[in-house]
Chains A and B, each alone.
Chain A
C-alpha cells in the first residue's frame, strides 16, 4: 500500500514537472542546417577599428553618474601622465560589453542551428553564445562574464539582448578607463553588415547603477576575407611565462616578472 502511494506521488511529481521542462536543445534537422544558407555571410576574420574606439573615447562619453564620472576623469588623467590604470591586466575576460567596446583583437562568427557564436582571439576563453532558437532568458541566470544572450534575425540584422553579466564587468571606453557595471546591466545590440567587409555592432547599454540613462555607441569591425589570415589562438596567461627547461630537460613555462602596468620587467 505504501508502495502504491509512493508510485502515485512520483507520477504526480513527474506529470506536474513536465510542462516546466521544455526541450531547449532539440537535435537540428536537415532543414535547420539548410536554413543557415539564407543568413548573411559573416565568415572570415573580423578586426576592431581601434582608431574609432580612440575617437569615441573623446567624443562619445557614456552618461556616467557623478561617482563614475569622477573615477573616469581620474583614470584618464593617470593614463595621460603615463600611468595607465591596469583594468584588464589580470587575464580575466574583458567580458561584456568591454569586449565589443575596446578589444584590439580579432574575432570570428559561427552560425549553427539555433545559435550564433562569437569567438575572440584573446583570453583563451573569450566566447559569446547567442541563442536564436526563440528561448527566453532564464528567470535568474547565473552571472557570467559574457552574460546570457538571446537573439533574433530581422532581415540580415541580428538583434541581441544580453542580461546576467557579472557586476564586476567594466563598461570601458579604453583599455585604461572604465567603470564596473555594478549589476542590473542590460545590453541591446544590432549587428549587421554596413558594407561588404564592414560589420557594425550597435550597442545600447542600460546600467542604472553607473549610467544616468542608456548609452548608445556603434563599434566597427573590418574583415579579412581571403584565407591568408586565419584567426589564431590567444591565451592571455601565456604572457606571464617564458619557454624554459626544467632540470630533467622537460620543456616548461617559466614565470616571468611583470610590472604593475602589465609589461615584462626590463632588464636591470
Chain B
C-alpha cells in the first residue's frame, strides 16, 4: 500500500487536469527512435490510451530513471498488435523503442517493446494493420 502510494507520487499523481482522450500524436517526434532498457513498473491497460511505465536507462547511456510510454487503445492493441492485458507485466525486463516527446520530457510513443526473457515483442502501429480478418493472415 505504502509502496503503491509512493509510486503514484513518483508518477506525479495529483488533482485531475482537464484533458485526455482522442488526440493527434505530433507532440512526439516520429522521425526519431530512442531505445531504453529496464524494468516495467506499471501497466495502465485503460482507454483511450494504454500506458506503460518503465524504469530504465537510455541505450545511449545515463542513469536509470522512470519513463512513460503512451499507446493506442486496448481494443486497437489487441486487434492490430496481438496484445493482451497481461502481455507485458510489472517486473518484466524489457527494451523499448519509442518516438520521444519533442519537449524533452521522459516520455514517448511506444513503437516496439521486447521482453528480454522470451524475446517476444509487441508493436503498436494500428495504421500498419488496416486489413479485414487480421487473424486469418500473417502479421506484417
Contacts and interface: CB of A to CB of B under 8 A. Distances in A.
Interface string A250-268: 0000111111111111111
B126 A226 contact: no
State the main secondary structure of chain B at its contact with A: loop
A74 B128 CA distance: 29
A204 interface: no
Q: From DSSP, what is the main secondary structure of chain A's interface residues?
A: loop
Given A90-B19, A106-B79, A263 B70 contact: yes
A258 B23 contact: no
B120 interface: no
Contacts, number: 201
Interface of B: 1, 4-5, 8, 10-27, 29, 42, 44, 46-49, 51, 53, 65-68, 70, 72-76, 78-79, 101-102, 105-107, 126-127, 130-136
30 contacts: A47-B130, A50-B126, A82-B27, A82-B102, A83-B26, A84-B25, A84-B26, A86-B19, A88-B21, A103-B22, A105-B76, A122-B22, A222-B132, A226-B135, A232-B74, A234-B74, A238-B46, A239-B49, A242-B8, A244-B4, A255-B14, A256-B16, A257-B16, A261-B19, A263-B107, A265-B17, A266-B107, A267-B66, A267-B68, A268-B12
Closest 8 interchain pairs by CB?
Answer: A84-B24, A266-B107, A197-B132, A176-B24, A255-B16, A262-B23, A88-B22, A267-B66
